[in-house]
Amino acid sequence: MSESQREKNEMLTLHKILFTICSISLLYKYYTTTVPTLVRIKDVKFSVLGPYNTTKIVVEDNYDQLIDIKNFAFKVNPQPCESYPTGLLLMVIVSSNPNNLENRKIIRNTWGRNLDSTKVVFLLGESENVTVYNQVKDESMKYGDIVQGNFIDVYRNMTYKHVMGLKWVSHHCPTAKYILKTDDDVVVNSHELRRFLARELSPWGARDLISCQVLEHAKAQRTEKSKWRVTTEEYPLKYYPTYCAGWAILYSQDVVPRLLKTAQSTPYFWIDDVHITGVCAQKIGVARTTFTSLILTPNKVNLLTMLGPDYAGPFIFGPPDLSSERIKEIWKAIPE
Ligand SMILES: *[C@@H]1O[C@H](CO)[C@@H](O)[C@H](O)[C@H]1NC(C)=O
Ligand SMILES: *[C@@H]1O[C@H](CO)[C@@H](O)[C@H](O)[C@H]1NC(C)=O
Ligand SMILES: *[C@@H]1O[C@H](CO)[C@@H](O)[C@H](O)[C@H]1NC(C)=O
């Protein structure tokens, strides 16, 4: 073989390799962009319901008790579900701090705007600051979307807040087919979420659904400076059970009263997502289904806000811990 012929052969091989790489990446892109969303929920552990599956919600619960608070009462208790006797597709319960008036305002004006068959309420405790206490009172009279319990709103009380949400849904909105628990610094692509629930899951609801960003083999934090530090008295084991990151948890209707019942009789642990979607979910035997593929990654946030929705791909949940500005930016970039 001459020198030039060998060069030619090498070039040919190189071209073949490049061609193969291109084909694979094109195929990959084709696959990932045309497969429907449900298929992207890997390892489905729940069942979807049809028109013949009647769901009967049984609530066995002491209304005046919240875990170990014996004189629990709702200070404010709106009833947005009463106008949907046959059921609402989605009830969103947003864990919010009384101080975060601005976050609530943004959610009301963006993704939480009253959409057909979707309602949003904010879960609050009581502020110890009189000014804030009165602001919340005015706000709840104006918007009617605040569910407030008679416990002090502090970080260590966030499990009370989550369980209060389960209690409120069980007693006052039992016909909602799906319940999304989220935080006030999160953006939800609510158009896409409703399409996803009604078309890719089922408009009749589901059973045994707890879907979220699933966390496995997480260690209980013992270091002094961690925000999430827990003592061995609070939590004796080294690892947490598999649980859901608390910023976006999708429950099916049947799961909520079951989790409530269990949480009511399980000793209090202050990290609510570990407690409710880890310890209690394990007790009722409901597996957690991951929806990681439905989350917009921080990189994709940039693609979305700079180049537009086609570049970010479909998503339902934005990343957590967003600033108000970021929530507005992302919402603006989402098509209806
Ligand atoms: C829904 O109803 C169908 C028909 O009666 C039944 O075969 C199916 O098992 C039910 N699904 C659930 C989750 O109960
Ligand atoms: C109470 O809240 C108001 C409004 O946010 C704030 O200006 C004030 O400093 C707070 N008071 C105390 C004692 O923290
Ligand atoms: C949580 O709320 C209860 C009831 O209001 C209160 O007694 C308790 O002190 C609060 N917890 C903390 C850590 O402040």
pLDDT tens digits, one per residue of 210-224: 999 999 999 999 988
Predicted pLDDT at 37: 47
141 and 256 fall within a common domain: yes
The H or E element spanning position 188 is none
221 and 162 fall within a common domain: yes
227 and 282 fall within a common domain: yes
Average pLDDT over residues 165-171: 98
47 Cβ inside 6 Å of ligand 1: yes
For 294-322, give the DSSP string.
Answer: GBPPHHHHHHHHHH-HHHH---SB--SS-
Which atom from ligand 1 is nearest to the alpha carbon of 48? 13
Using 50, 70 and 90 to split pLDDT, how confident is the model at 53?
A: confident
Which atom from ligand 3 is nearest to the alpha carbon of 155? 13
Predicted pLDDT at 67: 97
62 and 114 fall within a common domain: yes
291 and 323 fall within a common domain: yes
Determine which residue's CA is closest to atom 14 belonging to ligand 2. Answer: 129
Q: Is residue 282 one of the residues assigned to a domain?
A: yes
138 and 21 fall within a common domain: no
- Domain tally, the chain: 2
185 and 260 fall within a common domain: yes
* CATH number for position 179: 3.90.550
pTM to 2 decimal places: 0.87
Q: Residue 24: give the domain boundaries.
A: 1-31
Predicted pLDDT at 38: 44
Determine which residue's CA is closest to atom 14 belonging to ligand 3. Answer: 154
Determine which residue's CA is closest to atom 7 belonging to ligand 2. Answer: 131
92 and 240 fall within a common domain: yes
Which ligand lies nearest the alpha carbon of 53?
1
Which atom from ligand 2 is nearest to the alpha carbon of 99? 5
| Alpha carbon of 55 to ligand 1 centroid (Å) | 11
